[in-house]
Chain A
Amino acid sequence: MSKDIKIGVSIYSFTYFYDLKLMDLEDLLRTAHEMGYEGVEIVVAQMAPEYPNISDEWIAHFKELLDKYELHLVSWSAYIDMGLHPDRDLTDEEICEHTRRDLILAKKAGADLVRTQHAIKPKNFRAMLPFCKQLDMKLCIEMHAPHHPDVPVWKEYLEIMAEPESEGYLGVVPDFSIFQYAPHKQMIENYLRDGFREDKLNAVIELNKERLSAEEIIATDDFTDYEKNVIVDIVGHFQSPAKLEDLKKLIPYSPYIHGKFHFLDENCHNPCIPYEEIIPMVKELGFKGYIASEYEGWDEAAMEQLKRYVTLLNRLLED
Chain B
Amino acid sequence: MFFSAFAQWDIHMVVDAPIQNTQVEGISYGYEFKLHYPTYRGTYLSCIEELYFEVDGERVPDGMVEFHLNGKQFLLSELPGLFAEYWHITDDAVIRVVDYKGLEKGSVHSVKAHMQHRIPYTGYEGDYGVEISECTKELMVE
Contacts and interface: CB of A to CB of B under 8 A. Distances in A.
Interface of A: 12, 15, 18-21, 43, 45-46, 49, 51-52, 79-86, 88-89, 117, 119, 229, 233, 298
A89 B2 CA distance: 25
6 contacts: A19-B90, A51-B42, A52-B86, A83-B119, A84-B46, A298-B8
Given A85-B83, A86-B46, A86-B80, A80 B121 contact: yes
Given A20-B12, A46-B89, A89-B126, A84 B83 contact: yes
Q: Per DSSP, are chain A's interface residues mostly helix, strand or loop, or mixed?
A: loop
B86 to A, nearest CB: 6
The 9 A-B pairs at the shortest CB distance, nearest first, are namely A83-B120, A81-B120, A46-B41, A83-B128, A45-B41, A15-B40, A86-B80, A79-B121, A83-B118
B119 to A, nearest CB: 7
B90 A81 contact: no
B71 interface: no
A43 B41 contact: yes
Nearest to B90: A21
Given A19-B89, A51-B86, A86 B49 contact: yes
B44 interface: yes
Contact of A83 (B40, B41, B89, B123): B123
Contact of A117 (B40, B88, B121): B121
A229 B1 CA distance: 12
B120 A84 contact: yes
B46 A119 contact: no
Contacts of A83: 47, 118-123, 126, 128
A88 B120 CA distance: 11
A105 to B, nearest CB: 14
Contacts of B3: 233
Contact of B40 (A19, A21, A79, A82): A19
Nearest to B37: A19
Contacts of A119: 121, 124
Contacts of A86: 46-47, 49, 80, 118
A45 B42 contact: yes
